Amino acid sequence: FSVFCSADVFHTVAELPILERRNWLIHLHYIRKDYETCKTIIKEQLQETQGMCEYAIYVQALIFRLEGKIQESLELFQTCAILNPQNLDNLKQVARSLFLLGKHKSAIEVYNEAARLNEKDWEIEHNLGVCYMYLKDFEKAKEHLNCALQHSKHDLSFVMLGKVHLLDGNVEEAIEVYKKAVEFSPENAELLTTLGLQYLQLGLYQKAFEHLGNALTYDSNNYKAILAAGSMMQTHSDFDVALSKYRVAAHSSPESPPLWNNIGMCFFGKKKYVAAISCLKRANYLAPFDWKILYNLGLVHLTMQQFASAFHFLSAAISLHPKMGELYMLLAVALTNLEDPDNAKRSYEQAVALDQ
């Protein structure tokens, strides 16, 4: 009798129009990424509750964001915040949507409101730091990111703090941050690569090679580390070793303009000019507005004494990067060989003027 009674009661309860009764089903379809079914259930739930089911609105907002409908997503998250103003997640999602819309000042206001509900939330402090970084208020950005790291050490906060120091022109400070990050996550290939690249820019090749090598130990397909290590070998004329590295990178990033540019210049170093042009043209096809690739194409054509082609690529490079004297110098060489001494002279003068 008791079993029959409880089943009967359960049946009656299940029929009641409870605000949250389909939440488990909405959640199930959302985590399965079955968004169409999820939206159908949400619609039914919202009709049944006259639009008062907070969870259904919240998930609908998440789906809108995934679909790129950021403004619609923001409006729904704001509705959730009105329905439940003490829910920290609702405020964080409103702020996130404002951030994605580029409204960084408004996002900061909402994050500050959320911080009053929980003063020790890593995510809030981290995102405040990122917002201030985009507003170019680097001091406040550093303050919030340091605060985030005090609450919880996250790789992402280390990376952003390092980036803020770089944007503020403090390379040494950035390196110190990345060193701490690597101490905290010694097997994080991205962090090791980032630190290696900073050492590379400072010309500290031994330290750079060490960190890039470590990055490749933990992730042998890390595209950035392979490209950086390859370019160092290329600089030291180890073209065959560099090319073997680039072959690995080409599997994971076959559409990378810097990769094809570097492969092209390796072939140029090996005096295989036709292969060099082929690779550089692929790089140029993938990144038509990259002046360095155009510069290299001009250089290779000049070496092959194809002066008209060299003139074409060097002119294109100059239109994109008009402040580099070396480009005008190479253009002058091409013009001289094309028997245009007047324009060649002007190019030489421009090169001298820029290099003073």
Q: Is 95 exposed, middle or buried (0-12, 13-18, 19+ CB in 10 A)?
A: buried
* Residue 284 pLDDT level (bands cut at 50, 70, 90): very high
Terminus-to-terminus CA distance in the chain, angstroms? 100
CATH at 27:
1.25.40.10
pTM: 0.74
* Residue 281 pLDDT level (bands cut at 50, 70, 90): very high
Domain residues for the domain of 69 are 17-119
Mean pLDDT value of segment 151-156: 91
pLDDT in tens, 66-107: 999 999 999 999 999 998 988 999 999 999 999 999 999 999
In a domain, 136, yes or no: no
Q: Answer yes or no: is pLDDT of 263 > 70.
A: yes
In a domain, 237, yes or no: no
Quick one: pLDDT at residue 175? 92
Q: Is 251 exposed, middle or buried (0-12, 13-18, 19+ CB in 10 A)?
A: exposed
In a domain, 39, yes or no: yes
Assess contact for 60 and 47: CB atoms under 8 A. Answer: no
User: Can you tell me the distance from the alpha carbon of 155 to that of 141, in angstroms, rounded to the nearest whole number?
Assistant: 16
> In the chain, pLDDT over 90 holds for what percent of residues?
69
In a domain, 84, yes or no: yes
Quick one: pLDDT at residue 346? 93
* Residue 10 pLDDT level (bands cut at 50, 70, 90): very low
In a domain, 242, yes or no: no
In a domain, 88, yes or no: yes
In a domain, 42, yes or no: yes
The secondary structure of residue 103, as a DSSP letter, is -
Per-chain mean pLDDT for the chain: 89
pLDDT in tens, 21-56: 788 888 888 899 888 999 998 898 888 888 888 899
Crossing angle of helices 122-134 and 138-151, rounded to 10°? 160
DSSP string, 213-248: HHHHHH-TT-HHHHHHHHHHHHHTT-HHHHHHHHHH
How many domains, the chain?
Answer: 1
User: Can you tell me the distance from the alpha carbon of 310 to that of 292, in angstroms, rounded to the nearest whole number?
Assistant: 14
Stronger pLDDT, 225 or 12, i.e. the higher one: 225
Q: Answer yes or no: is pLDDT of 19 > 90.
A: no
